[in-house]
Amino acid sequence: MTLAQGTDNNARTFHPNSISELAFWSGTAEEREITFQKLRAEAPISWHPPIEGALIPSENPGVWVVTSHALIQEVSKNTQLFCSGQGFQMEEVPEDVNEAAGSFLGMDAPRHPVLRRLVSSAFTPKRVKAIEDQIKRQAHDIVTNLLEHPEGDFVEMVSKRLPMWTIYEMVGLTDIDKRLEAAHHADGMVSWADEEVAAGREPGEVLNESLVGLLMMGMELAEERRNNPQDDLMTGLVNAEVEGQKLTDDEIGAFFVLLSVAGNDTTRNSISLTMRALNQFPEQKALLLEDYEGRIGTAIEEFVRWVTPVMTFRRTATEDTVLGGQQIKAGDWIAMIYSSGNRDESVFENADQFDILRDPNPHVGFGGGGPHFCMGNFVAKIQLREIFDNLLRRAPNLELGEPEYLTGNFVRAVKRMPYTLR
Ligand code: HEM
């Protein structure tokens, strides 16, 4: 089969190394990297069949897959040519789900910058300081609890807890049962394809139930804070006003869904897979411990590059154009593979080595630098700094077993990972 490089759109052919099958995404990151490395070298933009396992049949004949660091940045930054408003996942998702779940992640200018500014205005320096203090406390308590249980599941005991506590305390969801319910729905939003999560239900049913559950919780909390303001993010959101504009209840509900999904799974998997990396490369762990305060800044960037918890995001071409020498038609889908960009050997020296002192480290783990660049990256960085400070110093003899991964092309997720304290 010929490669798609340099061919006309009408004659485009699927690349022989397809990444569209579920089997590809059920392997390990190391296995996938063999294919990505080949694609970066031969065809940094290549044409692939519609992604397998979508909830609804694909209307698109295929998807362009972008694997090089340079092209990921080009697509991320050029939002006029490559928009987010027609979905951001690699597979087909029902339109109403996209609209209700995406919040401003699935929007373009002019609405995207307005909503982003409104939400940002609720993150006052005072609130950020409160978030930091609260994360410090939570990280300490989580590791104290871990030390009382000499063995168990690291995901359940550590990785899952910190992001959930952070997000929901920050937003003002104080009721513990409601926090658990919200976190359960957030899981359903990204793991509906997983048989264990679906537990015999149709994937669409799981997704719908999770989405409606979160939307309702977000809107209820907004209503509550309007009547009874507190010192939390939700109160900030209902009162936020930029240039005479305020957020509607639907927009707040959708943002609650986005926050629940974007802020939970991402940091959770960063914690699990970073802990694994630090144990796999003990010399790096020792290097970090030698000067934690001095090295944790570069180390965190490397954690995010190494793990790349968000593996992909998709855009849609708004007009006919050329990308990486390839003819793109208006309406074509373009998937950015961040995991591949973060191993691009033309940007990262010894890209396949975990190096906590790597500097500069222009990874695309938080996005390729466009206007959708991760808005919660500062929250994620505080969480990583605090949890590893506690874990490395207070649980130095933590041993890990093999992780069990979730199948999917969006978040690189670990379901379970056994630990033992020696
Ligand atoms: C290590 C943890 C995290 C990673 C790797 C990550 C990654 C990402 C990525 C790749 C994007 C899309 C960027 C793009 O399309 O250009 C994104 C967007 C976003 N993230 Fe994160 N994220 C993390 C943690 C968080 C946390 C903790 C929060 C919330 C507190 C958060 C909130 C958001 C929001 C609101 C957006 C949408 C921004 C927009 O569309 O303008 N993220 N994140």
User: Has residue 1 been placed in a domain?
Assistant: no
Pocket-testing residue among 71, 374, 378, 409, ligand 1, by greatest number of atoms within 8 A of Cβ? 374
Q: Is 408 close to ligand 1, i.e. is its CB under 6 Å away? A: no
**For position 94, what pLDDT does the model report?**
81
Query: Does residue 127 sit in helix, strand or coil?
Result: helix
**For position 213, what pLDDT does the model report?**
95
User: Has residue 4 been placed in a domain?
Assistant: no
User: Quick check: 320 and 328 in contact, CB under 8 A?
Assistant: yes
**For position 319, what pLDDT does the model report?**
98
User: Quick check: 210 and 55 in contact, CB under 8 A?
Assistant: no
Residue 7 has pLDDT above 60, yes or no: no
- What radius of gyration, in Å, describes the C-alpha atoms of the chain? 21
Give the total number of structural domains in the chain: 1
User: Has residue 341 been placed in a domain?
Assistant: yes
Q: Is 372 close to ligand 1, i.e. is its CB under 6 Å away? A: yes
What whole-number percentage of the chain has pLDDT above 90?
A: 79
Question: What sections of 105-202 are H helices per DSSP?
Answer: 111-121, 125-147, 154, 161-171, 176-191, 195-198
The angle subtended at Cα 159 by Cα 284 and Cα 362, nearest 5°, is 50
Look up the pTM and report it: 0.95
Q: Is it true that the peptide bond before 94 is cis, omega within 30 degrees of 0?
A: no
Nearest CA to ligand 1 atom 20: 374
In which domain, by residue range, is 222 found?
9-421
User: Has residue 405 been placed in a domain?
Assistant: yes
Residue 5 has pLDDT above 50, yes or no: no
What's the rounded mean pLDDT across residues 37-50?
Answer: 97
User: Quick check: 77 and 349 in contact, CB under 8 A?
Assistant: no
**For position 11, what pLDDT does the model report?**
55
Residue 3 has pLDDT above 60, yes or no: no
Q: How far apart are CA 284 and CA 378, in angstroms?
A: 23
What's the rounded mean pLDDT across residues 212-222?
Answer: 95
| Nearest residue to 344 (alpha-carbon basis) of 19, 25, 66, 55 | 66
Average pLDDT, the chain: 93
What is the Å distance from ligand 1's center to 10 Cα? 36
User: Quick check: 322 and 334 in contact, CB under 8 A?
Assistant: no
Q: Is 116 close to ligand 1, i.e. is its CB under 6 Å away? A: yes
Which is the closest atom of ligand 1 to the Cα of 381?
Answer: 1
318-367 tens-digit pLDDT: 999 999 999 999 999 999 999 999 999 999 999 999 999 999 999 999 99
| Nearest residue to 307 (alpha-carbon basis) of 344, 267, 335 | 267
Residue 10 has pLDDT above 80, yes or no: no
CATH number at residue 92: 1.10.630.10
